[in-house]
Amino acid sequence: MSGERVLVVEDDAGSAAVVSMVCKDEGCEATIVASVAEALRVLPEISPSTLILDLSLPDGDGVEVLHEVGNHHPQTRVILVSGFDQRVLGTARQLAEAIGLEVIADLSKPVPLDLLRGALAGALARERVVTAQDLADAIAADELTVAYQPKINLKAPGFAAAPAVEALVRWRHPHYGNVPPGRMIALASESGQMHALTWAVIRTVFRQMRIWREAGANPAVSINLGAEVLDDRRLPDEVSALADEHGIDPEKLSFEITESSATAHSALVLEIATRFRLRGISLSIDDFGTGWSSLRQLYVLPFNELKIDISFVAEMRRREDARMLVKATIDLAHNLGMTVCAEGVEDFETLSLLNEMGCDAAQGYFISRPVSPRRLRTLAYGWQNPFAA
User: Is 384 domain-assigned?
Assistant: no
* DSSP code string of 147-201: EEEEEEETTSSB--SS-EEEEEEEEEETTTEEEPHHHHHHHHHHTT-HHHHHHHH
The percentage of the chain sitting over the pLDDT mark of 90, rounded to a whole number, equals 39
The Cα–Cα gap between 200 and 310 comes to: 27
- The last residue of one of the domains, among 125, 154, 172, is 125
Lowest mean pLDDT across 132-141, 252-261, 295-304, 322-331 = 295-304
Is 306 found in the same domain as 187?
yes
Residues 6+ apart with CB under 8 A from 278: none
User: Is 120 domain-assigned?
Assistant: yes
How high is the pLDDT of residue 185? 85
Looking at residues 354-383, what average pLDDT do you find?
Answer: 81
How high is the pLDDT of residue 208? 95
> Would strands 305-308 and 282-288 be described as parallel, antiparallel, or unpaired?
parallel
Is 238 found in the same domain as 330?
yes
Nearest to 89 by CA among 118, 117, 62: 62
- The last residue of one of the domains, among 93, 125, 157, is 125
What does the pLDDT look like over 180-222, one tens digit per residue? 777 788 789 889 999 999 999 999 999 999 999 898 888 899 9
User: Is 230 domain-assigned?
Assistant: yes
Top-confidence residue, 314 or 166: 166
How high is the pLDDT of residue 29? 77
How high is the pLDDT of residue 354? 95
Signed CA dihedral, 248, 309, 360, 161: sign only: positive
Residue 102 phi, psi (nearest 5): -90, 115
How high is the pLDDT of residue 114? 74
Q: Helices marked H in the chain — which ranges? A: 13-25, 36-46, 63-72, 86-99, 113-125, 132-140, 181-190, 194-214, 235-245, 259-264, 266-278, 294-300, 310-313, 320-335, 348-356, 373-379
How high is the pLDDT of residue 161? 45
- Backbone torsion region of residue 384, taken as left when φ is above 0, otherwise alpha when ψ lies between -120 and 50, otherwise beta: beta
* Coil, strand or helix at 84: coil
User: Is 1 domain-assigned?
Assistant: no
The Cα–Cα gap between 59 and 72 comes to: 21
User: Is 139 domain-assigned?
Assistant: yes
67: amino acid identity, one letter: H
**For residue 289, what are the CA distances in angstroms to 230, 243, 320?**
21, 31, 17
User: Is 325 domain-assigned?
Assistant: yes
Lowest mean pLDDT across 144-148, 316-320, 384-388 = 384-388
Top-confidence residue, 30 or 126: 30
User: Is 257 domain-assigned?
Assistant: yes
Is 231 found in the same domain as 332?
yes
Lowest mean pLDDT across 48-62, 114-128, 261-275 = 114-128
Is 332 found in the same domain as 301?
yes
The Cα–Cα gap between 103 and 93 comes to: 7
Residue 144: CA atoms inside 13 Å, Cβ hemisphere, count?
Answer: 28
User: In total, how many domains does the chain have?
Assistant: 2
pLDDT at 100 over 90: no
Q: What is the mean pLDDT of the chain?
A: 84
User: Is 389 domain-assigned?
Assistant: no
Across 316-355, b (16+ Cβ under 10 Å) vs e yields bbeeeebbebbbebbebbeeeebbbbbbbbbeeebbebbb
The Cα–Cα gap between 377 and 371 comes to: 10
pLDDT at 1 over 50: no
Q: Within a 10 A sphere around the Cβ of 129, how many other Cβ atoms?
A: 10
- Backbone torsion region of residue 3, taken as left when φ is above 0, otherwise alpha when ψ lies between -120 and 50, otherwise beta: left
Is 18 found in the same domain as 149?
no
Is 161 found in the same domain as 301?
yes
Quote the domain boundaries for residue 64. 6-125
pLDDT at 250 over 90: yes
- The last residue of one of the domains, among 125, 148, 180, is 125
How high is the pLDDT of residue 13? 83
Is 189 found in the same domain as 114?
no
What does the pLDDT look like over 154-188, one tens digit per residue? 877 655 444 789 999 999 888 777 777 777 887 89
Is 234 found in the same domain as 219?
yes
Which helix (DSSP H) or strand (DSSP E) does residue 215 occupy? none
pLDDT at 293 over 80: no
How high is the pLDDT of residue 23? 83
Beta-ladder partners of 124: none
Is 142 found in the same domain as 94?
no
Residue 15 — very low, low, confident or very high, per pLDDT cuts 50/70/90? Answer: confident
Is 71 found in the same domain as 24?
yes
Looking at residues 107-125, what average pLDDT do you find?
Answer: 78
How high is the pLDDT of residue 173? 82
DSSP secondary structure code for residue 371 in this structure:
B
Is 105 found in the same domain as 166?
no
Looking at residues 258-266, what average pLDDT do you find?
Answer: 65
pLDDT at 380 over 60: no
Q: Within a 10 A sphere around the Cβ of 244, how many other Cβ atoms?
A: 10
Residue 101: CA atoms inside 13 Å, Cβ hemisphere, count?
Answer: 31
How high is the pLDDT of residue 14? 81
Top-confidence residue, 72 or 240: 240
Residue 389 — very low, low, confident or very high, per pLDDT cuts 50/70/90? Answer: low
What's the farthest any 2 CA atoms get from each other in the chain? 62
Is 321 found in the same domain as 198?
yes
Q: What is the CATH number of the domain that holds 233?
A: 3.20.20.450
Q: What is the CATH number of the domain that holds 74?
A: 3.40.50.2300
pLDDT at 304 over 80: yes
Residues 6+ apart with CB under 8 A from 201: 144, 146, 167, 169, 223
Residues 6+ apart with CB under 8 A from 203: 242
Looking at residues 309-320, what average pLDDT do you find?
Answer: 82
How high is the pLDDT of residue 2? 46
The Cα–Cα gap between 238 and 247 comes to: 14
